[in-house]
A and B are shown apart, each in its own frame.
Chain A
């Protein structure tokens, strides 16, 4: 079946450094790729998303890139801060929007 692979499962960086999380998807029909941040004990919240007609999107310190040919997309966080520490999930969704497949998550630690 369709799946989304996410790496790494754990990432530890020094405050101010950059963090990169990578995902690959299997379903060619996927055309929408949201990223969620889940802080400890809280709900997953959307932080950025990208659609298949765009190769890159940026929002302040967060950027996402998409390579449709390789079925690969990545989250880039620059100038990391301790409050960026959380679990990040990538996801891939088809046109209908019903079937969203999530990656296993990346636990990001930002050390002060």
Chain B
């Protein structure tokens, strides 16, 4: 399934670096999400975009900066990260506002390691 594509798959960066994660969905959905998945912890919702407008920001540190230029693309800009930010970052998309909840479709994630 190539509905939600994330790049890169793996990223190693130093604490002073600046990098960006990219997500693209080909499902025609109108909502996109960033999640953080750490070992032995639930999936943590970071950001939600609906029709390119950010509707949710779950108290995420400012060193994570999302960008949604259109309904098909989502970025997560990273700078001055900490070792505890090492995790799998998952992007998802779904169709909302239809009156009937629809499931989220996930990408393969970016495995991020902070040195």
A residues near B, CB below 8 A?
Answer: 4, 31-32, 34, 36, 42-46, 49, 51, 89, 93, 95-105
Contact = CB atoms under 8 A, between A and B. Distances in A.
Given A43-B106, A95-B101, A97-B31, 19 more contacts: A32-B101, A43-B4, A43-B109, A44-B90, A44-B106, A49-B103, A51-B101, A96-B96, A96-B97, A97-B101, A98-B56, A99-B45, A99-B48, A100-B45, A101-B42, A101-B45, A102-B42, A102-B43, A104-B40
Contacts of A99: 45, 48, 56
B65 interface: no
Interface string B41-64: 111010010100001100000000
Interface residues of B, number: 25
Nearest to A107: B40
Nearest to A45: B106
Contacts of A46: 103-105
B41 A100 contact: no
Contacts of B108: 42-43
Contacts of A89: 42-43
Contacts of A43: 4, 90, 106-109
B99 to A, nearest CB: 9
B82 to A, nearest CB: 23
A41 B103 CA distance: 21
A21 B85 CA distance: 29
